[in-house]
Structure 1
Amino acid sequence: MRRKPLHFIKFTLLYVCLLLFAIFMMGPFLWLLSVSLMPGKNVFSFPPAIFPTFIDFENYVQVWNYMDFPRYLTNTLIIAMMGVVMNIFFSCLTAYPLAVFRFKGRDLIFTLLVATMIIPAAAGMVVNYLTVKALGVMGTYMAVVLPSAITVFNVFLMRQAFMGMPHELRDSGKVDGASEFRIWLQLSLPIVKPAVAVIGLLEFMGMWNSFLWPMIVLNDPKQYPIASALSFLNGQFAYNFGWIAAGTVISVIPIIIVFLFTQRYYMEGVSGAVKG
C-alpha cells in the first residue's frame, strides 16, 4: 500500500518537471505572442513588459493591411509543396537501392553521402547559385526548391526505414512478375508511410521558414515567401516590434496546424528510424 503514494508522488513530480521544461522551451514564442498583443508598447523598456495588460489585435490588423499576406502565403505554400514532393520522391528513390540491393561499393557510397553532412550549407551557396543560373531557372520557384530537392538526412532516414522492411515482401513481388519500380512504388512505400510523413513535415517546415536563399535567387519581391517578406517590416519598422511579432505569429500558425495533424506519423517515423 505504501508503494502507491510514492508511485503517485514520483509521477506527479516528473510531470511537473516536464511541464516546466515545456513552458521554458515555449518561452520565446509565448513572449512573441504577448508582444504582438501589446500595441504601442516599448518591449525593450525596463522592466520589460512580458505579459499584456489587455488583449488587443491592432498589430495584427495593421500588419495584415500593410502586407499582402495572401500573396506571400500562397508563394510559400507553392514553394513548400514543391519541396515536399521532390524531397519525398528523390529521397525514397535514392534510399531504396542503398537499403535493398546488394552491390559492390554500396556501403562506401552511403558513407560518402553521410560524410557530406559535415559541410555547412553556406559553403554550397555559390555552387548552387551558379548551377541554378546555368539551368536557366533563376527568378522562379524552381530556383528556390532545386538546391534542397534532396538532402542526405532524408536519404539516411528512408534507408533505415527500408532496411526494416521484410525481405519476403520484395521476393513475393518478384514471384508475381512485378518490376523493381512497381515493387518500390506499390509494396515498399506503403510500409514506410511514417518515415515519408516525417520527411514531408520536416521539409514543409524548412521550406516554409526559408529566408536568405529566396532573396538571392528571386528577382521580384512579390515572389518572396512569407519569411523573406517579413524582412520588409524589419527594415522599415525597426522600432515597431509589435508589427514584426504579429507578422511572425501569423507566419508560424500554418506550421503549428500541420504539425498537430501529423505529429502521430512524426513520432512513428522517428522511432522506426531509430530502431532500424
Structure 2
Amino acid sequence: MNRKIKKTFTYLILICISVIMVGPFLWLLLSSLLPNTNVYDFPYNVKLQSFSISNFTGVFEFVDFGSYIWNTVLISGASVFLNALIASMTAYPLAKLNFKGKDILFTIIISAMIIPSTAAMVVNYLTITKLGLSDSYLGVILPTSVTIFNIFNMRQAFLNIPDSIRESGRMDGASELRIFFSLIMPMVKPSIAVVVLFQFMASWNDFLWPMIVLNSTNKYPLSAALTMLNGQFAYNFGWVAAGTVLSILPTLFIFVLTQDMFVDGVSGANKG
C-alpha cells in the first residue's frame, strides 16, 4: 500500500512539473491562435470559432519570414556540421591516441569553459572584424563551430569504444583516418545526435551574436528577426507569438527525430 501511495505521489509531482513546464508554451500557442486578444487576460475565454491563423498569415505578409528562415537554416546547418566534425576530430586523439602532453592539453581545453561568454564574445568580435568577416554569414558561423562541451561529450563517447576495434582496422591495413570515419564514427552516432541537437538549439535560438556581427537586417536569422519583430509590432503580441511558435517547431522536429539516440548519447556520456 505504501508503495502505491509513493508511486501515486511521484506521478502527481511529475504531472505538476510537466504542467508548469508546458504551460508557457500553451499560453504562447493560444495567443498565436486567438487574434485581437489581450495577452494579460489569461485564462482566455476560448471558443472554437475564436481560433484563427490570421496572426500567422500576418507575420508572413508583413515580414519576409521565408528569407529569415533560410538564413537560420544556413547558419544553423553550417554551425552544426562544423561543430560535430571539429568536436569529433578533436576528441578522438584526446581519447584514443597517445602523445606527450595529452592530459595537459585536455585540461587546458576544459579550463577554457570558465571564461565568461561575454568575454569570449568581445574577443570573437575583434577577431572577426580583423579578418574582414563582419556583416557576413561566415562571421556568425565560425565562432560557433567549436564548443568545448561537445568536445568533452565526444571524448567520453570515444573512451567507451574498445581499442580492439582500432586494432582490427589496423590489421586490415586501414589508416587512422579510415578507422576514424569508417569504424569509430558509426559507433558514436548517439553522441553525435547529442551534439547535433544541442548545437542546433543553441544556433537556432541565438540572436545576440548575429545582431552584433550582421549590419544588414536582411541577413538576420529568425531569432534576431523575432527580436526586431517584437520591437516593431509590440502592440500586436499575436504576431510575435505566431513567429515564436514557428521558430520553435524546427527544434521540436529535430528532437523528435533524434530523441532515441539523444537519450542513448547522454547516458553513454555519463557512463564514460
Whether TM-score is above 0.5 comes out as yes
Matches within 5 A, 1:25-44: 25-44=21-40
| Aligned counterpart, 1:122 | 118
Query: Are 1:98 and 2:119 counterparts?
Result: no
Separation of aligned partners in 2, 1:61 and 1:199: 34
Residue-by-residue CA offset, 1:66-123 (whole Å, 9 max, x unaligned): 1111111111111111011100110000000100112222111111111111111111
Deviations 1:154-203 (A, max 9, x none): 00000000000011011111222211111111111011110001101111
Q: What is the aligned partner in structure 1 of residue 175 from structure 2?
A: 179
Mapped to 2, the partners of 1:53 and 1:254 lie a distance apart of 27
Deviation at 1:52, TM superposition (A): 4.8
- Cα distance between partner residues in 1 of 2:225 and 2:68: 7
Deviation at 1:56?
Answer: 2.6
- The change in CA–CA distance for 1:52 and 1:161 in structure 2 (over 3 A counts) is farther
Aligned to 1:141: 137
Q: Which residue among 43, 62, 65 is the counterpart of 1:66?
A: 62
Find 2:222's aligned residue among 202, 223, 226. Answer: 226
Report how far residue 8 of structure 1 moved: 4.6
Distance 1:100 1:50 in 2: 56
How large is the RMSD of aligned CA atoms in angstroms? Answer: 1.6
Counterpart in 1 of 2:74? 78
The reply to whether residue 198 of structure 1 matches residue 194 of structure 2 is yes
* Unaligned residue ranges in structure 2 (runs of 5+): none
Does 2:128 match 1:132? Answer: yes
Asked if 2 retains the 8 angstrom alpha-carbon contact of 1:36 and 1:60, the reply is yes
What is the aligned partner in structure 1 of residue 253 from structure 2?
257
Q: 1:13 maps to which residue?
A: 9
Q: CA deviation at 1:26?
A: 1.5
Deviation at 1:242, TM superposition (A): 1.6
Tell me how far apart the structure 2 counterparts of residues 135 and 74 of structure 1 sit (CA, whole Å). 25
Distance 1:222 1:166 in 2: 49
Q: Which amino acid aligns with 1:200?
A: V
Choose the corresponding residue for 1:53, options 36, 46, 54. 46
Q: Is this contact kept in 2: 1:91–1:155, CA < 8 A? A: yes
Letter of the 1:13 partner, please give it: F
Return the letter of the residue paired with 1:18.
L
Residue 236 of structure 2 corresponds to which residue in structure 1? 240
Distance 1:157 1:52, change over 3 A: farther
Q: Is the 8 A contact 1:34 1:50 kept in 2?
A: no
Q: What is the distance in 2 between the residues matched to 1:52 and 1:70?
A: 32
Q: What SS does structure 1 have at the residue aligned with 2:140?
A: helix
**What residue is the counterpart of 1:152 in the other structure?**
148
Contact 1:35–1:52 (8 Å) recurs in 2: no
CA distance in 1: counterparts of 2:131 and 2:156, whole angstroms: 33
The TM-score with structure 2 as length reference comes to 0.94
- Alignment gaps of 5+ in structure 1: none
Q: Structure 1 CA distance, aligned partners of 2:8 and 2:64?
A: 48
**Length-normalised TM-score, structure 1:** 0.92
Q: Indicate if the aligned counterparts of 1:143 and 1:217 stay in contact, CA closer than 8 A.
A: yes
- The 2-side partners of 1:145 and 1:214 are apart by 9
- Shift in Å, 1:247: 1.0
Residue 34 of structure 1 aligns to which amino acid in structure 2?
L
Distance in 1 separating the partners of 2:192 and 2:122: 30
Taking every aligned residue pair, what percent have the same amino acid on both sides? 49
Question: How far does residue 225 in structure 1 lie from its aligned partner after superposition?
Answer: 0.6
Q: Using the alignment, how far apart are the partners of 1:146 and 1:207 within structure 2? A: 12
CA deviation digits over 1:35-57, x for unaligned, max 9? 2223222223xxx3233523232
